């Protein structure tokens, strides 16, 4: 009997498969630290492009296009379509998209396909990053901006694994 057949009969939720993925070498999409690392890099890209626009090194349209491309790339990762990352069986993809549809009902187009819904959630995350930057612009407190960005990262991390937050 194959491992897949054993998991199907003894572990219909896929926990054994997820545990195997979690202990592997690839970043695991159920590990809060791995996800936070991904989101920190994503946030760094957004804030770097924002700074480049401010210095005249990048047009606002080019920054928006790059942000959109990153949202689509991350949607592929969290839809379980990127083999560089270990996905959570039965979650990444349809499970996550359905969770986003329920949690972000006012912010996403629920009729879109799963990957598009996940990309839309990343778009909302980008807007939160820009909102934090705009809010910090009225008060030059870099530490406050850092705290706000970290809170946004943690909140979105929780969303991506289906944990409830205090939002």
Q: Is 24 left (phi over 0), alpha (psi -120 to 50) or beta?
A: beta
Q: What is the pLDDT of residue 53?
A: 96
Q: What is the pLDDT of residue 14?
A: 56
Structure tokens at 47: 């804030």
Q: Average pLDDT for residues 127-155, to the nearest whole number?
A: 88
Q: What is the pLDDT of residue 5?
A: 47
- pLDDT tens-digit series, residues 14-24: 555 555 555 66
Give me the residue spans of the domains in the chain: 27-161
Predicted confidence (pLDDT) at residue 103 exceeds the cutoff of 70: yes
Q: What is the sign of the dihedral through the CA atoms of 61, 63, 66 and 67?
A: negative
C-alpha distances out from residue 22 to 30, 36, 62, 68, 97, Å: 7, 15, 37, 29, 21
Q: What is the pLDDT of residue 18?
A: 55
Q: How large is the greatest C-alpha to C-alpha distance in the chain, in angstroms?
A: 64
Q: Please give the mean pLDDT across all residues of the chain.
A: 88
């Amino acid at each position: 009997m194959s491992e897949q057949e054993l998991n199907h009969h003894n572990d219909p939720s896929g926990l054994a498969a997820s545990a195997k993925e979690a202990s592997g070498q690839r970043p695991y999409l159920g590990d809060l630290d791995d996800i936070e690392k991904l989101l920190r890099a994503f946030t760094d890209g957004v804030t770097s492009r924002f700074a480049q626009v401010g210095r005249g090194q990048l047009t606002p349209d080019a920054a928006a296009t790059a942000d959109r491309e990153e949202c689509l790339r991350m949607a592929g990762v969290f839809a379980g379509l990127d083999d560089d990352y270990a996905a959570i069986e039965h979650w990444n993809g349809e499970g996550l998209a359905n969770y986003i549809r329920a949690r972000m009902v006012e912010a996403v187009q629920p009729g879109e396909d799963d990957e598009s819904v996940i990309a839309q959630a990343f778009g909302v995350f980008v807007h939160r990053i820009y909102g934090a930057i705009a809010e910090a612009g009225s008060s030059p407190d870099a530490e406050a901006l850092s705290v706000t960005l970290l809170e946004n990262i943690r909140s979105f991390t929780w969303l991506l694994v289906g944990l409830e937050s205090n939002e």
